[in-house]
Amino acid sequence: MIIADCQNFARKLTEMPANKLTPTDFANLTVDRLQDLKNVDTIVRSKDWIVDQKMGAFLSIAQGSVQPPIFMEIKYTGSKDKDAKPIVLVGKGVTFDCGGISIKPSAQMDEMRGDMGGAAVVMGTIAAIATLQLPINVVCLIPLCENLVSGEAVKPGDVATAMNGKTIQVDNTDAEGRLLLADALHYGCTVHTPASIINVATLTGAMMVSLGSGAAGVFSNSASLWGNLHKAGIQSGERLWRMPLFQHYTAQITKSQLADVNNIGNAGRAGGSCTAAAFLREFVSCDEWAHIDMAGVVSNSSEVPYLGKGMTGRPTRTLIEFLSNI
């Protein structure tokens, strides 16, 4: 019941209308959900803190909206060894995504209220492990903002400087989630020195094309981390499938006319989910990292009967299962 309730919490967050779930609303709802749980410390960071951290990639996307960005940091200390290295979970929290200047087609744009599905999954996961009082340490990082069109929105061809100092040529403003994750991943790796770091995101339409609703795609630099995630997916029924993280794709995103990296690479739409993962890897300094692209499994029509129609909360149960086995 605990796990089901926490997955339903993730589903609720993902399903909520964007005008009822701004970055501030998301933070308030989740603070309320977590406030009575033991061993949980929730910190809601403001735009000023984000600026001080020089998270220029994150800020470049947030600048197009009047809603202020928020960076949530949630620490659960369940291990007897308070200094044990934590598992870090990072969730993409774009509470509405119209694509920015590279605007999406209007058809089904309403579904982009669910572009914070990764953040919702991370919240459902931390709520579950804190309720279950698992004997581990976990840190959750959630960058929250909207990606909208305005006179201040990032433009195709603009260059942003990420927290790690790398410059990013933003050729497509609809490839925005990877910019939020870039700064959050670097922060997670350098500040928390984790045992492993896992990011969860509705990152690419290409993942929907390649795997559909059958499984979430996983890219990882660690065979052991992938193996443990794969086993957890089998146990939970929320399947994962490993995708390639070749240098072939890294070459495509590091050939940029104006900056160190390009946010979409030079191969057009080919291998879109793979180039997105290669982009993220440029901001990861941890040996144990996995990127879960959940774009194909975030919603359900009739494919998974027990979930019903709408947002799914997948793969919340897989992450809970994974953390339960550590």
Residue 120 zone, left/alpha/beta (φ > 0; ψ -120 to 50; rest): alpha
The question of whether 178 is a catalytic residue gets the answer yes
Helix (H, G, I), strand (E, B) or coil at 305: helix
For 79-98, letters b (16+ CB in 10 Å) and e give beeeeeebbbbbbbbbbbbb
The question of whether 314 is a catalytic residue gets the answer no
From the candidates 54, 104, 231, 239, which is the catalytic residue?
104
Give the DSSP letter of residue 229: H
User: Using CA atoms, how far apart are residues 260 and 238, in angstroms rounded to an integer?
Assistant: 36
User: Using CA atoms, how far apart are residues 291 and 226, in angstroms rounded to an integer?
Assistant: 10
From the candidates 47, 178, 314, 317, which is the catalytic residue?
178
Tell me which residue of 210, 92, 306 sits closest to 317, measured CA to CA. Answer: 306
Radius of gyration of the chain (CA): 18
How do beta strands 167-170 and 158-161 pair?
antiparallel
* CB neighbour list of residue 11: distance below 8 Å, 6 or more residues apart: 120, 310, 311, 312, 313
Hey, which residues are catalytic here?
Answer: 104, 178
